[in-house]
Structure 1
């Protein structure tokens, strides 16, 4: 733990500006996986403990979609944020963000799964073959375009790999957050929808009656735990305090303090354990998915000539090879 903290503190110093204005308030952004009221209730104890630890007021920042948090960080209205991997990638690329820790479960594991779910009464929908039957005129609940589990992962593994365009296949495609999609499935407002294991667990805790009406029909490969991202240009001393808080919370202190912090984490989101150190490297598999999608799109683009397709695919393959090389050099995350 001491080595991890030391490395993190050095990183914080290297990536922060040499001279920075004093931060009088820290805005913590939240992707809109569910209603703002539910998010506020879930995260308030953690933010209060963070505020006490770093000595700066910490205010929650809520907006109606993922893009709002990404743009909030870009325009310095958000200083630290809880993202999914896809939205974290956008924040890193567009908003001067940097991954520094990721969420984990109480048992220390980190990761979750994208799902497609339907109503438990739907005996006709039990797997991918049923989902991809375009003759049925299904109504599909998709996720936010910046969601990893609600959009990117199923877009690739379910639709791109099977050469299916949801907009052409289904009668109607509606977009909502994770909570909205689960409730739409429970209330039979859509035939099936994207989601993830974290939000299913969350619904089982908050609305067990609705959760009991939902069944899983597809599960993705594992996705890395949710990244926590800060703005690179935060003052070095503040970043050091933030990093120390996340990496010691639920680990350091008296037995009573550790027990209390772990109880707070267990009631945060779908139930977390102590955070794990991370970096932008955890986003490489997400970048690969985006490039795989782009490659398939280019290969199936009838508007491109054979030479144009070859050139585009060659360009994407080079990017994929570079990412693969980077991934092989990294220790297991």
Structure 2
């Protein structure tokens, strides 16, 4: 009996030692600092102001420094993740594809609006006094107008209008406008409001949530002339190379934020989320499957481009990619991301 007791005690000591060792390794897996990438939808100062309370809460929860990472364009945040300078980032769907394909990223969460809606819309906008009132007016393509396109890695500013406005109508912005520029949502909105460009891309979040609050006079000078089908709300992406323990802690922080705890905690966190970007609610679980819709749009655009160029191999490759994407969409689409 004594031998059995000693053996049991020894086993318990061993188990405790192993547990302590595992806990120590898990703790070591957490980096000293998490760099959080924020895409340039508006000025860095405005983004830093709206994200700071959330990042401070994230820092307290993870027990390590959480530092915001800004770049002048979306590509800068993608490259930051590619070279290990960004660990977690807020992207649009198009830029998330680049982060997943080129920068070792992986979607793990999805933003939603504070009213619970799970999507937003790409827009074409003009000045309120413009005689342009519809997409048909834009597609006259007489090259007398100027156009403010979005960041090439923007979903609503570039990819979605690139498909629905241009590819489906067998046109390009260069076919239609005397001058084409590129800017972020804020820059394009202000250019339209002040008459510096005639037509520009944008989205419902930027115009009706952010600009309407930050600069109501400018927002009042803008007229919407085209709206896309709904776009899935933005994804959150982490580096695949992050240690498992770090991912678990980050994932738990996102999923519990604004949901778990007493009423005062939940209320404060909901207020923090509502002040971020265009006004967010608690995050939803997600995966790379969220990107399927935009991937299919990109593949279709590649097919049209190849057809126009007489590139039979390119057409075949695009068709094969579309087929694979559609097959996968049937698997995951009904159940969500």
**Is this a same-fold pair by TM over 0.5?**
yes
Verify the 8 A CA contact 1:74 1:95 in the aligned structure 2: yes
Alignment of 1:196-207 (within 5 A): 196-200=203-207, 201-207=209-215
Residues in 1 aligned to 2:121 and 2:204: alpha-carbon distance in whole angstroms: 5
Q: Which residue of 1 aligns with 2:277?
A: 269
Q: Which residue of 1 aligns with 2:134?
A: 127
Q: Which residue of 2 aligns with 1:169?
A: 176
Once the two structures are TM-superposed, the CA of residue 165 in structure 1 deviates from its matched residue by 1.7
CA 1:22–1:298: 2 relative to 1, 3 Å: same
- Aligned CA RMSD, in angstroms, stands at 1.5
Query: Secondary structure of 2:224's match?
Result: strand
Query: Secondary structure of 1:91's match?
Result: helix
Alignment of 1:81-100 (within 5 A): 81-100=89-108
Residues in 2 aligned to 1:158 and 1:19: alpha-carbon distance in whole angstroms: 50
Residues 1:139 and 2:143 aligned together: no
Q: What stretches of structure 2 of length at least 5 have no aligned partner?
A: 1-25
Residues in 1 aligned to 2:28 and 2:61: alpha-carbon distance in whole angstroms: 20
Verify the 8 A CA contact 2:143 2:175 in the aligned structure 1: no
Verify the 8 A CA contact 1:32 1:177 in the aligned structure 2: yes
Residues 1:285 and 2:325 aligned together: no
Once the two structures are TM-superposed, the CA of residue 20 in structure 1 deviates from its matched residue by 7.3
Aligned residues: 310
Verify the 8 A CA contact 2:125 2:224 in the aligned structure 1: yes
Once the two structures are TM-superposed, the CA of residue 205 in structure 1 deviates from its matched residue by 1.1
Alignment of 1:205-224 (within 5 A): 205-224=213-232
TM-score by length of structure 2 reads 0.89
Residues 1:180 and 2:187 aligned together: yes
1:172-203 residue CA offsets vs partner (Å, 9 max, x unmatched): 00110100000000000000100001111110
Q: Which residue of 1 aligns with 2:336?
A: 332
Verify the 8 A CA contact 1:74 1:94 in the aligned structure 2: yes
Once the two structures are TM-superposed, the CA of residue 105 in structure 1 deviates from its matched residue by 1.1
Query: Secondary structure of 2:264's match?
Result: helix
Moved more, 250-259 or 128-137: 128-137
Segments ≥4 residues shifted beyond 6 Å: none
Once the two structures are TM-superposed, the CA of residue 145 in structure 1 deviates from its matched residue by 0.4
Residues 1:72 and 2:110 aligned together: no
Once the two structures are TM-superposed, the CA of residue 108 in structure 1 deviates from its matched residue by 2.2
Verify the 8 A CA contact 2:193 2:219 in the aligned structure 1: yes
Q: Which residue of 1 aligns with 2:315?
A: 313
Q: Which residue of 2 aligns with 1:8?
A: none
Once the two structures are TM-superposed, the CA of residue 77 in structure 1 deviates from its matched residue by 0.4
Q: What stretches of structure 1 of length at least 5 have no aligned partner?
A: 1-17
Residues in 1 aligned to 2:271 and 2:29: alpha-carbon distance in whole angstroms: 35
Verify the 8 A CA contact 2:132 2:138 in the aligned structure 1: yes
Residues in 2 aligned to 1:21 and 1:332: alpha-carbon distance in whole angstroms: 31
Query: Secondary structure of 2:54's match?
Result: helix
Residues in 2 aligned to 1:271 and 1:291: alpha-carbon distance in whole angstroms: 31
Query: Secondary structure of 1:135's match?
Result: coil
1:4-34 residue CA offsets vs partner (Å, 9 max, x unmatched): xxxxxxxxxxxxxx99754101100011111
Residues in 2 aligned to 1:171 and 1:115: alpha-carbon distance in whole angstroms: 20
Residues in 2 aligned to 1:146 and 1:281: alpha-carbon distance in whole angstroms: 18
Verify the 8 A CA contact 1:85 1:226 in the aligned structure 2: yes
Moved more, 248-257 or 128-137: 128-137
Q: Which residue of 1 aligns with 2:257?
A: 249
Q: Which residue of 1 aligns with 2:7?
A: none
